[in-house]
């Protein structure tokens, strides 16, 4: 499996408040970004895997919704997570 419990805890510890705080928007956005990057690499090798492509589109939509929520709730947190993850170029 590409994402084990220790990797998840490391992501949440880095981007959330602590390793057990899985509910923050920043932690979820970071986790979605990790998964999106993994699926993107998978689709580069398996371009006809349409089920994975659909999953990727759904994940991007979820991440976008969380980013929109952060924009409305606290613009400084939004800017920090976008800069930290390098989402805008």
Number of domains in the chain: 1
What is the per-residue pLDDT for 32? 97
Residue 59 placed within a domain: yes
Q: DSSP of 2-57, one letter per residue?
A: -S-HHHHHHHHHHHSSSTT---SHHHHHHHHHHHHHHHHHHHHH-TT-HHHHHHHH
- Is 21 part of a structural domain of the chain? no
Residue at 75 is within a domain: yes
Q: In the prediction, which pLDDT does 89 show?
A: 58
In a domain, 10, yes or no: no
Residue 78 sits in which domain range? 26-85
Say which DSSP state 80 is in.
H
Computed on alpha carbons and rounded to an integer, the radius of gyration of the chain in Å comes to 14
Residue 44 covered by a domain: yes
pLDDT score at 1: 67
Q: Which position has the token pair 């930290």? A: 84
In a domain, 50, yes or no: yes
- Please list the ranges in the chain whose pLDDT falls under 70: 1, 89
SS (H, E, C) 12-26: HHHHCCCCCCCCCHH
């Amino acid at each position: 499996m590409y994402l084990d419990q220790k990797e998840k805890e490391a992501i949440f510890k880095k981007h959330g408040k602590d390793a057990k705080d899985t509910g923050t928007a920043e932690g979820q956005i970071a986790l979605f970004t990790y998964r999106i990057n993994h699926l993107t690499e998978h689709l580069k090798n398996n371009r006809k895997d349409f089920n994975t492509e659909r999953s990727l589109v759904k994940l991007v939509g979820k991440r976008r919704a969380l980013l929109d929520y952060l924009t409305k709730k606290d613009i400084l947190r939004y800017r920090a997570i976008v800069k930290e993850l390098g989402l805008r170029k």
